[in-house]
Amino acid sequence: MSIKPAIATILLLSLLACTGGPVTPDWQNNAHQSLNSFSTAYLSGDTRLANAEFQRARNELARTGRFDLVARAELVRCGVRVASLELDDCPGFSEIGADAGKTERDYADFLQGKAVAATLLPAQYRAMAGKGKSALSEIDSPLSRLIAGGVLLRRGDLDTTDIAVAVETASAQGWRRALLAWLEIQARQAESQGDENRAAYARRRAELSNGER
């Protein structure tokens, strides 16, 4: 399933604006296709394919010698990991962040759960600037919705409704890796609230998705 709209809306693949001509260079098409393939494979749990596609995309972008483009690819990878609740410090971006642009650094800060001015964020995240919070259901793109959920989790602002929206978003897309991560969060929250039935149901769903039932 294509997730091009999600990547486009966060402006990490605005490569067409960077070439200055009507003919799209091969490296741009190749990078775009590989980043989309990486994202789908990673969210679905195919790590080997995801790693291969990401490296292919990064190599294509590196051909330009432009740190900002390679940084955007690293932010795509970081965003997909945030959507899957793998909350590290985006080491791939950190290695080149000093040579990236302010736009890239601001988005990296957002993914880390830091406060960023609304005007510096893609439109769908602006309500989350500073200490702001918006309902995940109001975000159209499934990937952006899950990224926002991961950011809210980092901030400690995630509620029961948000978790349910994230679970059903990952489920609807067939993104097994992301679904398993969000179902675990749902089960833990239910347990903390004393709702054993809801926790058990979430874990049964995880077992089904993971081929254990």
Closest CA to 182 of 86, 88, 76, 115: 86
Q: How many CB atoms lie within 10 A of CB 35?
A: 28
Q: pTM for the complete prediction?
A: 0.87
Burial of 22 (0-12, 13-18, 19+ CB in 10 A): exposed
Q: Report d(CA 70, CA 193) in Å as an integer.
A: 43
| pLDDT one-digit tens code per residue, 30-88 | 999 999 999 999 999 999 999 999 999 999 999 999 999 999 999 999 999 999 999 99
Residue 18 has pLDDT above 50, yes or no: no
- Look at the chain and report how many structural domains it folds into: 1
Residue 211 binned pLDDT confidence (cut-offs 50, 70, 90): confident
pLDDT of residue 132: 56
Tokens of 7: 């990547």
pLDDT of residue 119: 85
Whether 141 contacts 4, CB under 8 Å: no
Residue 158 has pLDDT above 60, yes or no: yes
pLDDT of residue 52: 98
Give percent of the chain above pLDDT 90: 69
Q: In which domain, by residue range, is 99 found? A: 4-209
Phi-psi region of 166 (alpha: psi -120 to 50; beta: other; left: phi over 0): alpha
What's the average model confidence in pLDDT over 156-161?
A: 90
Residue 130 has pLDDT above 70, yes or no: no
Q: Report d(CA 40, CA 18) in Å as an integer.
A: 25
What's the average model confidence in pLDDT over 116-122?
A: 84
Residue 107 has pLDDT above 60, yes or no: yes
What's the average model confidence in pLDDT over 104-125?
A: 88
Residue 201 has pLDDT above 60, yes or no: yes
Range ranked top by mean pLDDT from 2-11, 98-107, 151-160, 174-183:
174-183
What's the average model confidence in pLDDT over 108-131?
A: 83
CA of residue 66 relative to chain centroid, distance: 23
| pLDDT one-digit tens code per residue, 36-48 | 999 999 999 999 9
Q: How many CB atoms lie within 10 A of CB 198?
A: 17
